[in-house]
């Protein structure tokens, strides 16, 4: 988005020519992602703890998993924000491959969100069954294969 907004201003100020370079935009996206994760991450984790958004650990599970009891879940939303927001801000959105990777990332993130939602909100300990997750991934693959 910034690329499309600011690069055309090069004819008025040569400094905007920096937006033409992918290395400059990659550095900007990296800094944006770090800021999002460092600022929003702790706030979001505290919010999840406050509302007790945590996965229940099954009694029949391995002993190593029992130490994770009380750990907030849905942290993938922070990771998605750290990927999607910088991509929308700094990339060339007219590039098909950027849009494709963005769609794949959001699609797979939604599958993960639905799985966590079923575990945490609907209290279904196993979450989304493997077949449904696989079906969603196969549909995504077919969408881009055609």
The whole-angstrom separation of Cα 106 and Cα 58 is: 29
CA atoms within 13 A on the CB side of 142: 6
Judge whether residue 41 has pLDDT over 80.
yes
**Looking at residue 92, what is its pLDDT?**
93
Would you say 115 and 137 are in contact if contact means Cβ atoms under 8 Å apart? Answer: no
- Tell me the β-bridge partners of 72: 54
CA dihedral 114, 120, 121, 126 (to 10 degrees): 70
Judge whether residue 38 has pLDDT over 90.
yes
**Looking at residue 70, what is its pLDDT?**
65
The whole-angstrom separation of Cα 40 and Cα 34 is: 10
Would you say 22 and 7 are in contact if contact means Cβ atoms under 8 Å apart? Answer: no
Question: pLDDT tier at 74 (50, 70, 90 boundaries)?
Answer: confident
List the domain boundaries for the chain: 2-145
**Looking at residue 53, what is its pLDDT?**
78
Question: How do residues 136-145 score in pLDDT, each as one tens digit?
Answer: 999 999 998 8
Neighbours of 60 (CB within 10 A): 6
| Residue listed under structure tokens 């992918």 | 22
CA dihedral 56, 61, 62, 68 (to 10 degrees): 0
**Looking at residue 31, what is its pLDDT?**
98
């Amino acid at each position: 988005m910034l690329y499309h907004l600011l690069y055309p201003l090069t004819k008025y100020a040569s400094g905007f020519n920096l937006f033409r370079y992918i290395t400059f935009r990659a550095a900007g996206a990296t800094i944006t992602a770090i800021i999002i994760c460092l600022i929003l991450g702790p706030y979001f984790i505290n919010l999840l703890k406050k509302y007790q958004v945590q996965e229940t650990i099954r009694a029949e599970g391995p002993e190593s998993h029992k130490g994770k009891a009380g750990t907030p879940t849905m942290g993938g939303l922070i990771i998605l924000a750290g990927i999607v927001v910088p991509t929308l801000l700094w990339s060339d959105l007219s590039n098909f491959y950027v849009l494709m990777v963005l769609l794949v990332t959001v699609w797979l993130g939604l599958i993960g969100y639905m799985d966590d939602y079923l575990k945490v909100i609907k209290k279904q300990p196993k979450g989304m069954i493997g077949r449904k997750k696989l079906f969603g991934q196969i549909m995504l693959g077919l969408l881009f294969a055609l």
